[in-house]
A and B are shown apart, each in its own frame.
Chain A
């Protein structure tokens, strides 16, 4: 089964445990500025929103790369940057509509979410279940269920 990250902002408290887990997984240090997932504090709306690569099927970053440094992982379908091939040209950062692939000055390469080989550290670290790793074809299940609960309560009461 192909899985994908499911992000539910309404559950996020803005604690940044995901950012620490991601940077630790990739860099062995706690460094939110190096995290591939970022939490945004939408202060004016009192909302927190974690955001990262959605692993588009037709990935713009992959198509834009002039040296074919971005490949699709066979098992997870994640779009993965090969550091040995990446030349740091940043064309992928222009191509990505969502801003989720970014240049890292220290390495001279780009970095993006690679789903940690199928066991994403952010999802494991999230204390509120705002980030989960689920069946890619059923990411809407919980939302559907929530609406299903609200549907047709009137006739049920009258039954």
Chain B
């Protein structure tokens, strides 16, 4: 009930498929998805493991509400040790793959070892096979997904796969399902590639049941109404998508521009949600074709974009004339503002490339921005780039580099290393805008101070999805706090981190939290799952997950010294906007954060804390 109670264990070295019963005690402590899979992973994998070695494992995992009528209940995550970061990685994706896996009767799939040749995993309910993928190796995500549907004669097959970026080990390669939804960050696609696993193809027709169906339906209807009545989830996100933020964040001086040299981008409006709605001068059509929902989602924030058929970038790519997943805010920022590019069509092209070849647009855009800065300094030259002028603002450079990175060719191989390794290689580590080797997303921590602490302490490296304090500091959810102040941010970050971990463990999308708190999640879980699920229980589960991830990272070799930001953000003040004159006040927040967490001044959970959370 709610959990299927079973999972698959795939040993690619031996070529075996096993089934196991879910550990119910762990499910009670860690709920599911991000939590439960992290528990299995931490129990089974040496934290010092080389992420790209056969000894690393990867877990495709659903939550108890995945595949149910709870709004947004279609999520799955991939948990592994990330090759970009060397930390625990947990990348969450929507689309339809998660529901299909759950409907096939499996809570998760643990993949271990390394196949001697390219393979894919076929899951049709109880029939699970490791099958030859020679004909798909080297193919794009899109070709692979369509090819598998054709081979299985099943248009309803759901596929999660990697492209050349994952096969060739680009360190921020992602896993793409349903053509344009992705387990995007930390390089989970490179781990899949290192195992010679091209794809997982799933068809599930077993159905998902819940503990108390009538109470569950009632609870989900009530909570869907909360989403519909909320201005962000009911109006802003469906109409404008996450891109609603572009002009807002630029206005408050927190839109990192040209590798974080500036905090406001003069071309922001040209790559914004509003611009996506505007009919183009060239063909009279808008970039935005429609909004689309992931499985079970009553918000429907997804962007489906149609490129300008006359844009210079798509002369050689006729498939990009069809609509596909358009830029969301983080992607539009990374390939747009951070690279100084204000050409919406070029940004859309780069995003299509990321989806088609399977790599993370945030890390790609940020890495390209660092490369552009080194090019302007003369550290990188046309000899390095294959003759391409890597100047800030160049749509041509963006388009060319997206293609090379996706295919793992030319200078794209170096861009595939990620910003930290690239900058270190060319002698300028200070230009890498990363924490724990993962590139920042689209919020400057000088203009939104809470995000500095969020990035510094995130267990998977710089990330906005671990504690989205933007909600409070900019949008006033659940209460308004001053984005320029450091006071109170330690508590805010901790509270958001713990609640977010609980949401990520449930099968629900984090975007519901613009309208929902744990008070809204708990009644749905309580009606669906065995056991008692109250907001307090969920908060403790969230804190337990967070602390377990921290324990894994410490055992992997991370220390408090890694909980920091680049000098540019700590020393160089913002030049314009409301944050003018201000750098990140991380030093004012971090000690308090450790204290609130029950960690030592060195960032290590105390014995009492571990005991309180039943982690020792």
Across-interface contacts of B69 in A (CB, < 8 A): 17, 20-21, 24, 30, 125
CB-based nearest B residue for A125 = B69
B206 and A13 contacting across the interface, CB-CB below 8 Å: no
- Known contacts A30-B67, A127-B228: A43-B213 contact under CB 8 Å: no
Across-interface contacts of A13 in B (CB, < 8 A): 238, 291-293, 297, 300
Cα separation A14 to B296 with both chains bound (whole Å): 9
- The answer to whether B497 has its CB under 8 Å from any CB of chain A is no
B297 and A15 contacting across the interface, CB-CB below 8 Å: yes
- The answer to whether A44 has its CB under 8 Å from any CB of chain B is yes
- The answer to whether A82 has its CB under 8 Å from any CB of chain B is no
Interface residues, chain B, CB within 8 Å of chain A? 67-69, 71, 96, 99, 103, 156, 179, 204-210, 213, 217, 224, 228, 238, 289-298, 300, 304, 306, 322-324
Given contacts A34-B207, A127-B228, 5 further A-B contacts (CB under 8 A): A14-B292, A15-B298, A33-B204, A46-B289, A46-B304
Across-interface contacts of A45 in B (CB, < 8 A): 323
Across-interface contacts of B156 in A (CB, < 8 A): 33
Across-interface contacts of B207 in A (CB, < 8 A): 23, 27, 29-31, 34
Cα separation A45 to B323 with both chains bound (whole Å): 7
A20 and B292 contacting across the interface, CB-CB below 8 Å: no
Cα separation A54 to B292 with both chains bound (whole Å): 25
- The answer to whether A47 has its CB under 8 Å from any CB of chain B is yes
- Known contacts A21-B69, A43-B322, A43-B323: A33-B300 contact under CB 8 Å: no
Cβ distance B430 to chain A, nearest Cβ, rounded Å: 44
B289 and A15 contacting across the interface, CB-CB below 8 Å: no
B293 and A14 contacting across the interface, CB-CB below 8 Å: yes
Across-interface contacts of B304 in A (CB, < 8 A): 46
Across-interface contacts of A14 in B (CB, < 8 A): 292-293, 300
Assign chain A's interface to a size class: 20 to 34
Cα separation A23 to B99 with both chains bound (whole Å): 14
- Known contacts A13-B293, A16-B295, A127-B224: A34-B323 contact under CB 8 Å: no
Among A15, A34, A47, contact of B293 (Cβ-Cβ < 8 Å): A15
B323 and A30 contacting across the interface, CB-CB below 8 Å: no
B292 and A28 contacting across the interface, CB-CB below 8 Å: no
Q: Which A residues, 33 to 54, have Cβ-Cβ distances below 8 Å to chain B?
A: 33-34, 41, 43-48
A sample of 5 cross-chain residue pairs with beta-carbon separation below 8 angstroms, ordered by A number, consists of: A15-B296, A16-B96, A30-B68, A30-B103, A32-B99
A24 and B217 contacting across the interface, CB-CB below 8 Å: yes
Shortest 6 CB-CB contacts between residues of A and residues of B? A29-B207, A31-B207, A46-B289, A15-B293, A13-B300, A46-B323
Across-interface contacts of B204 in A (CB, < 8 A): 33
Among A20, A34, A47, A128, contact of B205 (Cβ-Cβ < 8 Å): A34
- Known contacts A13-B300, A23-B207: A31-B293 contact under CB 8 Å: no
Across-interface contacts of A43 in B (CB, < 8 A): 179, 322-324
Cα separation A20 to B372 with both chains bound (whole Å): 48
Cα separation A34 to B207 with both chains bound (whole Å): 8
- Known contacts A15-B300, A125-B69: A46-B306 contact under CB 8 Å: yes
B322 and A32 contacting across the interface, CB-CB below 8 Å: no
Across-interface contacts of B322 in A (CB, < 8 A): 43-44
Among B206, B289, B297, B323, contact of A31 (Cβ-Cβ < 8 Å): B206
Across-interface contacts of A44 in B (CB, < 8 A): 322-323
Cβ distance B574 to chain A, nearest Cβ, rounded Å: 38
Among A24, A27, A48, contact of B292 (Cβ-Cβ < 8 Å): A48
CB-based nearest B residue for A47 = B290
Cα separation A47 to B206 with both chains bound (whole Å): 28
Across-interface contacts of B296 in A (CB, < 8 A): 15-17, 20
CB-based nearest A residue for B217 = A24
CB-based nearest B residue for A104 = B205
- Interface flags for A74-93 (1: CB within 8 Å of B; 0: not) read 00000000000000000000
Cβ distance B55 to chain A, nearest Cβ, rounded Å: 37
Cα separation A126 to B292 with both chains bound (whole Å): 14
Cβ distance A67 to chain B, nearest Cβ, rounded Å: 27
Cβ distance A17 to chain B, nearest Cβ, rounded Å: 6
Across-interface contacts of B96 in A (CB, < 8 A): 16
CB-based nearest A residue for B156 = A33
Cβ distance B230 to chain A, nearest Cβ, rounded Å: 13
Across-interface contacts of B290 in A (CB, < 8 A): 46-48
Cβ distance A128 to chain B, nearest Cβ, rounded Å: 8
Cα separation A47 to B306 with both chains bound (whole Å): 12
Cα separation A23 to B205 with both chains bound (whole Å): 11
- Interface flags for A120-138 (1: CB within 8 Å of B; 0: not) read 0000010110000000000
Cα separation A28 to B179 with both chains bound (whole Å): 31
A31 and B298 contacting across the interface, CB-CB below 8 Å: no
CB-based nearest A residue for B209 = A29
Across-interface contacts of A23 in B (CB, < 8 A): 207
Cα separation A3 to B446 with both chains bound (whole Å): 59
Across-interface contacts of A21 in B (CB, < 8 A): 69
Cβ distance B232 to chain A, nearest Cβ, rounded Å: 15
B208 and A30 contacting across the interface, CB-CB below 8 Å: yes
Cβ distance A48 to chain B, nearest Cβ, rounded Å: 7
Across-interface contacts of A33 in B (CB, < 8 A): 103, 156, 204-205
Across-interface contacts of B224 in A (CB, < 8 A): 127
Cβ distance A93 to chain B, nearest Cβ, rounded Å: 17
Cα separation A41 to B179 with both chains bound (whole Å): 12
- Known contacts A20-B69, A47-B290: A31-B295 contact under CB 8 Å: no
CB-based nearest A residue for B208 = A30
CB-based nearest B residue for A33 = B205
B298 and A17 contacting across the interface, CB-CB below 8 Å: yes
Task: Select the residue from A23, A32, A34 with max chain B CB neighbours within 10 A.
Answer: A32
Cα separation A44 to B319 with both chains bound (whole Å): 10
Cβ distance B357 to chain A, nearest Cβ, rounded Å: 18
Across-interface contacts of B208 in A (CB, < 8 A): 29-31
CB-based nearest B residue for A29 = B207
CB-based nearest A residue for B206 = A31
CB-based nearest A residue for B178 = A41
Cα separation A28 to B1 with both chains bound (whole Å): 12
Across-interface contacts of B213 in A (CB, < 8 A): 24, 28
Task: Select the residue from B156, B293, B297, B298 with max chain A CB neighbours within 10 A.
Answer: B293
Cα separation A62 to B291 with both chains bound (whole Å): 39
Among A24, A29, A32, A127, contact of B298 (Cβ-Cβ < 8 Å): A127
Cβ distance A134 to chain B, nearest Cβ, rounded Å: 21
Cα separation A46 to B294 with both chains bound (whole Å): 14
Across-interface contacts of A20 in B (CB, < 8 A): 68-69, 296
Across-interface contacts of B217 in A (CB, < 8 A): 24
CB-based nearest B residue for A16 = B295
- Known contacts A13-B300, A46-B289: A31-B103 contact under CB 8 Å: yes
